[in-house]
A and B are shown apart, each in its own frame.
Chain A
Amino acid sequence: AQKVTQAQTEISVVEKEDVTLDCVYETRDTTYYLFWYKQPPSGELVFLIRRNSFDEQNEISGRYSWNFQKSTSSFNFTITASQVVDSAVYFCALSEALEYGNKLVFGAGTILRVKS
């Protein structure tokens, strides 16, 4: 069975601090996909990034970066120079291969509070 663990329930930082959100996953599949979504107070889940299991390259997009390590089954998300607008709930998710439905298994989420 697939499982995603986000051990950090809530993180509070002061604006301009860097913050890393942890994600650990479990799966028996050899092909799988990892995602991060942001859920701001408005409630709509916003897609941030997808990573394929066969591509361990880390990725940077502006102030966001992602570190995928198959050896530790982790897919961590770092926000550099955090801003108040980054305050939201962040979800890590895992899905199986496309031909098996590609349904998402989510972690419980990490609440990020960025204070000015």
Chain B
Amino acid sequence: DTGVSQDPRHKITKRGQNVTFRCDPISEHNRLYWYRQTLGQGPEFLTYFQNEAQLEKSRLLSDRFSAERPKGSFSTLEIQRTEQGDSAMYLCASSLSQRFTYEQYFGPGTRLTVT
């Protein structure tokens, strides 16, 4: 079974640049989540998709952030005009929204450093 994969694993960018991250979920999973984790903290929810529909966005997700899941498979998270405060680990998780199977499985994350 292939797990959740994320690309790139590390990204260093200059303030003001745009960045895009990709997440490939476990193939049969219909839900996909994005979280952000800063140093010393637990992950915080950003947004989630059920198939291709984006069903919820956190207040943490400013207008500079946009996420898509065009065909209900992989997802992308774009950050425009990056700021130093965007430096964090961006985690993707997927799950199968069936009764009694609520576990989310996480990818290795993309570590973003904004200089």
Contact = CB atoms under 8 A, between A and B. Distances in A.
A98 B42 contact: no
B33 interface: yes
Contacts, number: 61
A98 B104 contact: no
Contact of B102 (A46, A102, A107): A102
A1 B57 CA distance: 16
Contact of B31 (A91, A102, A108): A102
A64 interface: no
A107 B103 contact: no
A101 B48 contact: yes
B57 to A, nearest CB: 11
A104 interface: yes
Q: Is the interface of A mostly helix, strand, loop or mixed?
A: strand
Contact of A33 (B35, B55, B102, B108): B102
Interface residues of A, number: 25
A105 interface: yes
Interface of B: 31, 33, 35, 40-45, 48, 55-56, 89, 91, 93, 95, 97, 99-100, 102-109, 111
Interface of A: 4, 33, 35, 37, 42-47, 50, 52, 91, 93, 95, 98, 101-109
Given A42-B108, A44-B108, A108-B42, 11 more contacts: A45-B91, A47-B103, A50-B102, A91-B42, A91-B43, A98-B97, A103-B45, A104-B43, A104-B104, A107-B42, A108-B41
